Amino acid sequence: MKAQGSHKQVKKAARSVSQRRLGAAGRDWKKELRERTAKKQRKMKGGEKRVSKITCAEAIEEAVRKIGMATADQIYNYLKEHYPDRWTSDSISQGIMCAIVNLEPAALHWQGARTFLFMHEDGRFELRNTK
């Protein structure tokens, strides 16, 4: 359904609806709206769960650095233990695949991704030597 009237009329009608919802008249509705928004933001910040700003790739690198030579299961378990409910198992496995230096299909699929894992023939990973 299309709104009837000019742009100014539609905007004015929307503003009057906002004023009625807030229960205020005149210019005070803007002030009341700002106060409600600020109160809501404070409430969200206080009750919000704090999540570290680490990426999945950085967490994978951290896991391999701490474990040493690690399998995909060990990396997965480390991330689930240290960062619970942060990434899905698919995100972790894709993060591992795109970080592998010697996996050509992954390099073609995730072009430009940072590669730092070297995969051995037995399926274990280690950090690539960066010299």
Tokens found for residue 41: 């933001």
Using one digit for the tens of pLDDT, what is the confidence trace for 9-22? 666 666 555 555 65
Whether 131 has a pLDDT exceeding 90, the answer reads no
**CA atoms of 74 and 56, how far apart (whole Å):** 15
Q: Are residues 27 and 65 in the same domain?
A: no
Residue 64's Cβ-count burial label (10 Å; 0-12, 13-18, 19+) is buried
Helix axis angle, 7-22 to 28-47, nearest 10°: 60
Kindly state the percentage of the chain with pLDDT values over 90: 44
Q: Which of the listed ranges 27-31, 51-55, 73-77, 102-106 does the model predict with the highest average pLDDT? A: 73-77
Whether 100 has a pLDDT exceeding 90, the answer reads yes
What is the biggest distance separating any 2 CA atoms in the chain, rounded to whole angstroms?
A: 73
Q: Are residues 84 and 120 in the same domain?
A: yes
Lowest-confidence range among 3-12, 34-43, 106-115?
3-12
Domain count, the chain: 2
Using one digit for the tens of pLDDT, what is the confidence trace for 60-84? 999 999 999 999 999 999 999 999 8
Q: Are residues 29 and 73 in the same domain?
A: no
Q: Are residues 17 and 61 in the same domain?
A: no
Q: Are residues 35 and 72 in the same domain?
A: no
Q: Are residues 61 and 42 in the same domain?
A: no
Number of helical (H) and strand (E) elements in the chain, helices listed first: 6, 2
Bigger pLDDT: 102 or 25? 102
| 2 in a structural domain | no
Q: Are residues 118 and 75 in the same domain?
A: yes
Write out the residue range of the structural domain in which residue 23 sits.
Answer: 7-47
| 29 in a structural domain | yes
Determine the pLDDT at residue 38.
78
Q: Is the pTM of this model over 0.75?
A: no
Tokens found for residue 121: 């023939």
Q: Are residues 63 and 28 in the same domain?
A: no
Is the separation of the CB atoms in 106 and 98 below 8 Å? Answer: yes
